Amino acid sequence: MELPVEEWRLCAARRWAALEPALRERLAAASLHDTLRLGCGLLRPEAEAPALRRLCRRARAGKEPAAARFYREEGNRSFGRRRYAAAARLYSQAASHELPGSPEVSVCFANRSAALFHLGHFEVCLEDIARAESHGYPDRLLPKVLLRKAECLLRLGRLQDAADALSVVENKIAVAGIMTGPAHQTLLKKLSQLKIKIQEKERCPEPARETRGDIQRKSEFWEENDSISGASSSLRLNFDTERGRHLVASQDILPGQSLLEEEAFVSVLCPGDGLLLQDSAETAWDTRVTNADLYCHRCLRQLLASVPCQGCSYAKYCSQSCADVAWEQYHRTECSLGALLLTLGVFCHVALRTVLLAGFAEVSRLVEWSHNGDRDLQDPEARCKDLSEAAETRAGTRGIPGCNDSGQYQSSYQAVFSLLPHTEKHSPEHKFLCMLSVVAICQQLQEAGLEAAVLNQESSERRSKPKTCEKTSGELSPEMKMMAEAMLRHVLQLQCNAQAITVMQESESGDGAVVNKKPVRLATAFFPVLSLLNHSCCPNTSVSFSGTTATVRASQPIPSGQEIFHCYGPHRCRMRVAERQQLLSQYFFDCRCRACRDELESDVKSVVSLRNTFCCPGCRAPMQGEDMLCCSNEACAISVSRESLSCRLRDLQQRIKRALELLRDRKADQAIKMLLKCQVDAECFLSPEHLLMGELEDHLAQVYATLGKWQEAARHLERSIEIVEMHHGPSSIEIGHELFKLAQILFNGFAVSEALSTIQRAEEILSVHCGPQSPQIQELQEMKTCLSELPRSILQRT
Torsion of CA 343, 345, 348, 354, to 10 degrees: 120
Q: Domain coordinates of the chain in residue numbers?
A: 1-60+336-372+409-455+476-499, 65-199
Q: Is the per-residue pLDDT at 85 higher than 70?
A: yes
Give me the sign of the Cα torsion angle 502, 508, 512, 518. negative
**Tens-digit pLDDT profile for residues 542-566:** 999 999 999 999 999 999 999 999 9
- Lowest mean pLDDT across 90-99, 175-184, 768-777: 175-184
Residue 613 near residue 687, CB atoms below 8 Å:
yes
Position 462 scores a pLDDT of 40
Position 622 scores a pLDDT of 86
**Selection from 647, 670, 649 nearest residue 659 by Cα:** 670
Quickly list H helices, 135-221: 142-155, 159-176, 182-203
The amino acid present at 63, given as its one-letter code, is K
Q: Is the per-residue pLDDT at 299 higher than 60?
A: yes
CB proximity list for 460: less than 8 A, separation 6 or greater = none
More confident of the two residues 590 and 162 = 162
Q: How far apart are CA 149 and CA 196, in angstroms?
A: 16
Q: How far apart are CA 149 and CA 129, in angstroms?
A: 7
Position 585 scores a pLDDT of 78
**Tens-digit pLDDT profile for residues 701-747:** 999 999 999 999 999 999 999 999 888 888 888 899 999 999 999 99
CATH code of domain 65-199 = 1.25.40.10
**Per-position DSSP letters for 631-665, written without gaps between them:** ES-TT---EEEHHHHHHHHHHHHHHHHHHHHHHHT
pLDDT above 70 covers what percent of the chain? 86
Residue 593 near residue 540, CB atoms below 8 Å:
no
| Averaged pLDDT for residues 213-239 | 77
**Tens-digit pLDDT profile for residues 735-745:** 999 999 999 99
Position 610 scores a pLDDT of 55
**Selection from 596, 604, 632 nearest residue 616 by Cα:** 632
**Tens-digit pLDDT profile for residues 464-499:** 333 434 454 568 999 999 999 999 999 999 999 999
Position 169 scores a pLDDT of 86
The amino acid present at 701, given as its one-letter code, is A
Position 397 scores a pLDDT of 55
**Tens-digit pLDDT profile for residues 641-699:** 989 999 999 999 999 999 999 988 889 999 999 999 999 999 999 988 888 999 999 99
Residue 409 backbone dihedrals phi, psi, to 5 degrees: -100, 110
Q: How far apart are CA 137 and CA 142, in angstroms?
A: 7
**Per-position DSSP letters for 297-309, written without gaps between them:** TTT-PBPSS-EE-
**Tens-digit pLDDT profile for residues 107-118:** 999 999 999 999
Q: Is the per-residue pLDDT at 182 higher than 80?
A: no
Name the average pLDDT for the chain: 85
**Selection from 768, 747, 766, 771 nearest residue 757 by Cα:** 747
**Tens-digit pLDDT profile for residues 245-276:** 899 999 999 999 999 999 999 999 998 755 54
Q: How far apart are CA 211 and CA 562, in angstroms?
A: 43
Q: Is the per-residue pLDDT at 325 higher than 90?
A: yes
**Tens-digit pLDDT profile for residues 371-411:** 886 544 444 445 544 444 443 343 445 568 888 888 889 88
